[in-house]
């Protein structure tokens, strides 16, 4: 029988679980055989029945063992390779789904150069560690769900923060969601009927998301995105012909191009919305990283034609799946109903943590530090990439992403494949577009692309391309 170390910082449950797995993998315990009963193992190890039962339940969930009612716990057989029997993951059904599947799994790559998130070390102090435990214990002890629209405390704090951005909205206009993607799905389900048209910029990360929707009963049309916003001439032609119900846009630090919509174009977009009777969804998920706090469309419109959505996973923690939508008053009740149909309610734990963090004095300091660090890394990346012949739009001067155009002689498909083999994650520009105009582009995250491993990889690859040419 194995032993446990009571002086170890590793929990007893984890020690027991690890020890059982080790004996199974070393074939010391035979597949198909019965494990000691919970009471017997607890007595032998000198631990509580609850501790052993918890370890067994974890192993059942991992499909290492199985519970047979009235008979006990038995070791499951392994596959021919000798590894634990696990449920097989269904491979992504498309290139776009594959991109998100890999982007959301940190075990897939060592260097996530094209990911949409900041490095964990940059966010380590975003949520005050001194209060996290107390907040969690307090929230869990309440044992109450979050209200369908989100807690009043959080919505009031969000409304206060929005006023600092010159966006005047009451807390009653805010619906908390499980991330910004969920917020947009609520708007979509409320606003679009079968056969309706939705207008989105091209290129755009939002276009990539739309391509993933199965059984879509609405139509997608696109307008070219330039460095300072959508091509207005093309946009007016599209809305005049198709009469879309929604226009989906990112006005600040656009993903993936990094550009900001100019105020002049912002006014013109609102004028088109009024003239052709459509609503605007303003996605501001990366706006907090914008050094120049340009006016948002929502601050100009006064909730006549705009929905504003944002979230906190980018600047606080990807583990906090919490976003929100600010809607014209007439649509709030329908959005709340749609949320209840989808997920019932959100997490009171996440809402409490975010509300406290936003109210803390260190939040603004955290954002200021992030902006400065992003700008520094952006400058460094543009410098060394430019020396390798990579080009950028001059108007896109800030934000998390570089929209990088590689020389024509570079085989970008081959480069991406070799990067994958080197455990470097790269996203081709074609993912974000319905055209072939961006086949020589990569979306690069400035917080990751200065990693020495990527610099060495790219330098070696581009040098070999140049030599072969």
- Which of 25, 126, 149 lies closest to 75, judged by CA? 25
Angle between helices 348-359 and 129-142 (to 10 degrees): 140
Q: What span, in angstroms and rounded, lies between the C-alpha atoms of 401 and 291?
A: 14
Residue 83's pLDDT is: 40
Residue 440 domain boundaries: 95-122+364-466
Residue 92's pLDDT is: 46
Q: How far is CA 167 from the centre of its chain?
A: 24
Answer yes or no: do 400 and 442 share one domain: yes
Answer yes or no: do 134 and 283 share one domain: yes
CATH number at residue 106: 3.90.1150.10
Q: What span, in angstroms and rounded, lies between the C-alpha atoms of 381 and 237?
A: 38
Residue 137's pLDDT is: 65
Residue 95's pLDDT is: 61
Q: What span, in angstroms and rounded, lies between the C-alpha atoms of 285 and 209?
A: 14
Number of structural domains found in the chain: 3
- Which of 264, 220, 210 lies closest to 242, judged by CA? 220
Answer yes or no: do 412 and 263 share one domain: no
Answer yes or no: do 207 and 351 share one domain: yes
Answer yes or no: do 151 and 268 share one domain: yes
Residue 143's pLDDT is: 63
Answer yes or no: do 274 and 288 share one domain: yes
Angle between helices 180-191 and 329-343 (to 10 degrees): 110
In a domain, 1, yes or no: no
Answer yes or no: do 426 and 454 share one domain: yes
Residue 105's pLDDT is: 77
Q: What span, in angstroms and rounded, lies between the C-alpha atoms of 8 and 279?
A: 58
Q: Residue-wise pLDDT tens for the chain (469 aa)?
A: 678 888 887 778 888 988 888 888 776 787 788 899 999 898 899 888 878 888 888 888 778 888 888 788 988 876 544 343 333 344 444 566 667 777 777 777 889 999 999 999 999 888 876 666 666 666 655 667 889 999 999 999 999 999 999 999 999 999 999 999 999 999 999 999 999 999 999 999 999 888 888 778 999 999 999 989 999 999 999 999 999 999 999 999 999 999 999 999 999 999 999 999 999 999 999 999 987 767 799 999 989 999 999 999 999 999 889 999 999 999 999 999 999 998 989 988 889 889 989 988 789 999 999 999 999 999 999 999 999 999 998 877 788 999 999 999 999 988 998 998 899 999 999 999 989 899 999 999 999 999 999 999 999 988 766 555 5
Residue 31's pLDDT is: 75
pTM over 0.85: no
Contacts of 327-332 with C-beta under 8 Å, sequence gap 24+, read 327/173, 327/175, 327/187, 327/303, 328/173, 328/303, 328/304, 329/172, 329/173, 329/303, 331/190, 331/191, 331/307, 332/149, 332/172, 332/173, 332/175
Answer yes or no: do 450 and 342 share one domain: no
Residue 86's pLDDT is: 35
Answer yes or no: do 265 and 172 share one domain: yes
Pairing of the two strands 219-226 and 229-230: antiparallel
Of 337, 360, 383, which residue constitutes the final position of a domain? 360
Contacts of 28-31 with C-beta under 8 Å, sequence gap 24+, read 29/75, 30/75, 31/75, 31/76, 31/77, 31/78
Partnered with residue 65 across adjacent β-strands are 75
Q: What span, in angstroms and rounded, lies between the C-alpha atoms of 337 and 38?
A: 46
Answer yes or no: do 237 and 337 share one domain: yes
Local structure of 323: helix, strand or coil:
strand
């Amino acid at each position: 029988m194995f032993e446990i170390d009571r002086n170890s910082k590793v929990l007893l449950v984890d020690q027991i679980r690890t020890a059982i797995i080790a004996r199974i993998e070393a074939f010391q315990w035979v597949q198909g055989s019965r494990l000691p009963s919970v009471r017997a193992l607890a007595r032998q190890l000198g631990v509580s029945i609850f501790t052993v039962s918890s370890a067994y339940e974890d192993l059942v969930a991992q499909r290492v063992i199985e519970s047979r009612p009235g008979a006990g716990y038995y070791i499951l057989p392994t596959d021919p390779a000798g590894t634990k029997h696990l449920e097989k993951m269904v491979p992504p059904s498309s290139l776009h789904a594959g991109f998100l599947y890999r982007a959301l799994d940190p075990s897939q790559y060592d260097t996530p150069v094209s990911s949409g998130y900041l490095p964990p070390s940059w966010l380590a102090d975003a949520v005050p560690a001194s209060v996290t435990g107390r907040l969690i214990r307090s929230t869990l002890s309440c044992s109450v769900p979050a209200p369908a629209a989100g807690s009043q405390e959080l919505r009031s704090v969000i409304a206060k923060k929005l006023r600092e951005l010159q966006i005047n909205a009451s807390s009653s206009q805010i619906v908390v969601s499980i991330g910004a993607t969920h917020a947009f799905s609520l708007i979509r389900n409320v606003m679009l009927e079968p056969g309706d048209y939705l207008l989105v910029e091209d290129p755009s990360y939002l276009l990539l998301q739309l391509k993933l929707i199965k059984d879509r009963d609405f139509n997608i049309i696109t307008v070219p995105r330039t460095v300072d916003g959508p091509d207005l001439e093309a946009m007016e032609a599209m809305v005049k012909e198709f009469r879309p119900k929604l226009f989906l846009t990112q006005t600040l630090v656009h993903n993936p191009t990094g550009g900001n919509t100019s105020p002049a174009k912002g006014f013109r977009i609102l004028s088109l919305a009024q003239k052709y009777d459509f609503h605007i969804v303003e996605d501001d998920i990366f706006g907090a990283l914008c050094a120049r706090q340009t006016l948002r469309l929502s601050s100009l419109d006064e909730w006549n034609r705009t929905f504003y959505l944002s979230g906190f996973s980018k600047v606080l923690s990807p583990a906090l799946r919490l976003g929100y939508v600010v809607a014209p008053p007439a649509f709030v009740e329908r959005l709340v109903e749609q949320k209840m149909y989808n997920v019932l309610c959100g997490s009171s734990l996440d809402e409490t943590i975010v509300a406290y963090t936003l109210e803390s004095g260190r939040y603004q300091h955290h954002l200021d530090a992030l902006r400065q660090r992003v700008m520094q890394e952006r400058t460094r990346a543009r410098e060394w990439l430019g020396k390798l012949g990579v080009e950028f739009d001059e108007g896109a001067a800030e934000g998390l992403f570089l929209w990088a155009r590689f020389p024509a002689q570079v085989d970008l498909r081959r480069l991406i494949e070799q990067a994958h083999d080197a455990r470097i994650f790269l996203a081709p520009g074609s993912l974000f577009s319905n055209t072939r105009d961006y086949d020589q582009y990569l979306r690069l995250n400035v917080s990751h692309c200065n990693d020495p491993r990527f610099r060495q990889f790219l330098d070696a690859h581009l040098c070999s391309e140049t030599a072969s040419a």
